[in-house]
Amino acid sequence: MRARAVILTLLLAALLLSGCGSLDLPALLPSFTPQPSWTPLATWTPWPTPLPSATPSPSPTPFELARAGTPLPQPLSPLTAENAAELRLLAVYGRGLLLHAQWSGDGRSLWVGGTRGLARLDAASLTETLFLPAPPSAVLRAWAVSADGRWAAAGAQDGRVFLWDAQTGALTEEPLPGAGGSPVLTMAFSPDSNRLAAAAWDRRVNWWALDTRAGRSLRSRAPLRALGFTPDGAQLLGWAAAGQPEVWELPAGRRLDDFYIGLTTGGGSARGLAFSADGSTLAANQSSRLRVFRSDDRTTRATLSAFRGPLLAAALSADGSRAATLEETAVRVWETDSRALVQEFPAPPGAQVGWRLAFAPDGGRLLLVGDGLWVFTLGSQEPALRWEGTAWARAQRLWTAPLPAQGLRVAQLDGWESLWRLGQGQADAPAQLVVGPYGALALSSNGDWRAVSRADGKVMVYAAGEITPTWSLSGHLQTPLALAFSADGNWLASGSREGALRLWDLQTGKAALKLELKEDVQYLAFNPAGDALAVGLRESTRLLELTAGDVLATYPGTAPVFAPDGQQLALALPDSSLRLVSLRGGQTVTLDAAGRAAAFSPDGALLAVSGAALSLWDTHSGEQVTAIENPAPFAPPQFSADGELLLISDWDGVVYLWGVW
């Protein structure tokens, strides 16, 4: 310390002398290691304990709507009145009803179109390589893909026309101008892919030049069912079943003389019209014959008539040199000019009017699309290659039934059913579990039984996994449109429009109760205990005791739905509001909900109502807790068995799923 004081004294002296002369301070001082400078202490403040380094929070996972093949986001929360405001659309499963199929211009791909999108398949393996989903609010009615593979177009139920880049899958920002207001029925590209035409139900025919998107609107005499261009794209042909094809000159839009193709025995011009891809040839399906014409001079090229039954569909090869025909039992290929049979294939079961045929560009393969898709190879005796398309509907949906573990069974009017595993977004291959078509279908809650009604008034009851009915129940003059099982699966109720109500004992197959109500029976619902039946008539509901069929009560409103505890009944009123009725005390609560279809959550705390909006209501307070856009206003809502999902299945088999994530 003394040495340090001496040094400090010398430093201070040097500073004082520095103004009076030069001083080489380092020469005077011995070398030393500098010490840290000292700062007098102020009032002491304790240092805070150092905080651990913060770990950056992971960025929230961006939400993406699940489609067929992609799983639901997890975890999900059970729906409650408290979290219902957080309800969001999580998934849209299903590709819709199969409507359209065609080959790509190079023959290496197939395009398959439905009510909710267009898929590109590899032609050799039939595996999907691209999917173009429809805009969320659109239900599609017609499709077309340009010959050069550049464009895909679709016409919607509301008349809008959408255009995609078929290579990248990108949707143009806006629908094509000038369309809208009426369902699009048919579409076609010109052979050079430069023009697109679309015909709507209101008889408006729009066409566009795709390089500028400029269009023009024409008017046909009747709603057109087929469109085609001449090879140079200078003329547009449109056909409606009642008359001869109409012809317009483009771009002026001047109407030319009709293209005369003759008449059928029924007075119409044809059952269908097919164009060759190059526009040089068209063929008129006139049921008992196929007339093939040249488009340039409108002369007959050939007439085919060696058929075993009515023609259901026809197609022409790319240059018109071959024709394909579909009958109930056979698919046949012909040389057009010589009318010689090239090859015959067995037709798939159920072939009918509305199925379509299409040749590959090389003429060596043939595509058939109906309630499935088949590819036939000319010169081969191998069975047709079939595409399953499990995410696509074969026919219109009739009902859905939620199952445990986020399962959903979807039934179609043709008797086929699919099982969706909602958590994975996957559908099993459809299976024919009953013989369709039918008028109504019901599935017992324990899964032991399913029942369908037929046009002859019979009700067929099938045991699980069986395609042969266990019971054939006769007791109605008209098709029963209301069916319901009791919770224990021991009883089946059926009702029809002539007012007949039957209660069937499924142990014996006998009618335990027969009532004639003299009003249309439109809805049936057992209470959870299975000792009462709610019968929805046109504007009222009767609550029946099942032993003798005595009327326990009559309520205004219809479409009855029991709460899970059986203590409340939801009814739709004529003004589209809903009423909750307490079966214990008779109290009623009217909900200002615009809709006629409702469902209780598994715990009974929420009521979902489907109408112009999809709304959720607190069953204790009678208050609305949320309302969201409803893409399927006429479809009934349902809850999953675990209460985590709210779902609606539309008429074309598409399932919408909402939840809290």
Angle CA 603–607–611, to nearest 5: 150
Q: What is the pLDDT of residues 129-183, one digit of tens each?
A: 999 999 877 899 999 999 999 999 999 999 999 999 999 999 987 899 888 789 9
Burial of 357 (0-12, 13-18, 19+ CB in 10 A): buried
pLDDT at 6 over 50: no
Strand-pair category, 66-67 with 88-93: parallel
Percent with pLDDT over 70 in the chain: 89
For 86, which DSSP code?
Answer: G
Q: Which residues make Cβ contacts (< 8 Å) with residue 61, sequence separation at least 6? A: none
Tell me if 532 is assigned to some domain.
yes
User: What local confidence, expressed as pLDDT, does residue 425 receive?
Assistant: 80
Tell me if 123 is assigned to some domain.
yes
Range of the domain at 143: 97-227
- Note whether 440 and 479 are same-domain residues: yes
Task: Find where tokens 């040094």 sit.
Answer: 7
pLDDT at 541 over 90: yes
Given a contact cutoff of 8 angstroms between Cβ atoms, the answer to whether 640 and 648 are in contact is no
The tokens for 224 are 């057109």
Given a contact cutoff of 8 angstroms between Cβ atoms, the answer to whether 500 and 475 are in contact is yes
pLDDT at 509 over 60: yes
pLDDT at 512 over 80: yes
DSSP string, 505-561: ETTTTEEEEEEE-SS---EEEE-TTSSEEEEE-SSEEEEEETTT--EEEEEE-EEEE
The tokens for 293 are 């014409």
- Note whether 628 and 646 are same-domain residues: yes
For 127, which DSSP code?
Answer: -
Tell me if 36 is assigned to some domain.
no
- Note whether 267 and 364 are same-domain residues: yes
Read off φ and ψ for residue 490, nearest 5 degrees: -90, -20
The tokens for 76 are 């999900």
Out of 13-27, 478-492, 568-582, pick the least confident.
Answer: 13-27
Tell me if 320 is assigned to some domain.
yes
Alpha-carbon distance 658 to 62, whole Å? Answer: 17
Out of 308-317, 489-498, 645-654, pick the least confident.
Answer: 645-654
- Note whether 343 and 194 are same-domain residues: no
What is the CATH classification number for the domain harbouring 518? 2.130.10.10
User: What local confidence, expressed as pLDDT, does residue 37 receive?
Assistant: 36
Q: Across all residues in the chain, what is the average pLDDT? A: 86
Q: What is the pLDDT of residues 443-470, one digit of tens each?
A: 888 778 889 998 899 999 998 878 889 9
Strand-pair category, 281-285 with 290-294: antiparallel
Percent with pLDDT over 90 in the chain: 60
- Note whether 302 and 381 are same-domain residues: yes
Strand-pair category, 392-393 with 184-189: unpaired
Alpha-carbon distance 242 to 120, whole Å? Answer: 34
The pTM (predicted TM-score) of the whole model is 0.78
Tell me if 571 is assigned to some domain.
yes
Q: Which residues make Cβ contacts (< 8 Å) with residue 644, sequence separation at least 6? A: 76, 77, 78, 79, 406, 659, 660
Burial of 16 (0-12, 13-18, 19+ CB in 10 A): exposed
Better pLDDT: 565 or 438 = 565
Q: What is the pLDDT of residues 556-591, one digit of tens each?
A: 999 999 999 999 999 999 888 899 999 988 889 999
Task: Find where tokens 């324990």 sit.
Answer: 446
User: What local confidence, expressed as pLDDT, does residue 8 receive?
Assistant: 36
Q: What is the pLDDT of residues 378-393, one digit of tens each?
A: 999 888 899 878 788 7
Tell me if 42 is assigned to some domain.
no
Where is the domain boundary, 186, 204, 227? 227
Q: What is the pLDDT of residues 205-233, one digit of tens each?
A: 999 999 988 889 999 999 999 999 999 99
Tell me if 68 is assigned to some domain.
yes
- Note whether 363 and 411 are same-domain residues: no
Task: Find where tokens 């112009």 sit.
Answer: 612
Alpha-carbon distance 415 to 398, whole Å? Answer: 10
Q: What is the mean pLDDT of residues 309-325?
A: 96
- What confidence category does residue 397 fall into, taking pLDDT thresholds of 50, 70 and 90? low
Q: What is the pLDDT of residues 289-311, one digit of tens each?
A: 999 999 999 999 999 998 988 99
- Note whether 532 and 454 are same-domain residues: yes
Read off φ and ψ for residue 468, nearest 5 degrees: -95, 125
Q: What is the pLDDT of residues 619-656, one digit of tens each?
A: 999 999 999 988 888 889 999 888 999 999 888 888 89
Where is the domain boundary, 227, 248, 282? 227
Number of domains in the chain: 4
User: What local confidence, expressed as pLDDT, does residue 300 receive?
Assistant: 97
Of the chain, the end-to-end C-alpha distance in Å amounts to 72
Alpha-carbon distance 84 to 425, whole Å? Answer: 23
Cα-based distances in Å from 466 to 374, 449, 451, 462, 554? 27, 10, 12, 6, 39
Alpha-carbon distance 415 to 83, whole Å? Answer: 39
Q: Which residues make Cβ contacts (< 8 Å) with residue 77, sequence separation at least 6? A: 83, 644, 659, 660, 661
- What confidence category does residue 61 fall into, taking pLDDT thresholds of 50, 70 and 90? low
User: What local confidence, expressed as pLDDT, does residue 15 receive?
Assistant: 33
Go through the chain and tell me how many residues it has: 661
For 280, which DSSP code?
Answer: S
User: What local confidence, expressed as pLDDT, does residue 436 receive?
Assistant: 65
- Note whether 545 and 607 are same-domain residues: no
- Note whether 288 and 362 are same-domain residues: yes
- Note whether 294 and 373 are same-domain residues: yes
- Note whether 89 and 199 are same-domain residues: no
Tell me if 6 is assigned to some domain.
no
User: What local confidence, expressed as pLDDT, does residue 398 receive?
Assistant: 60
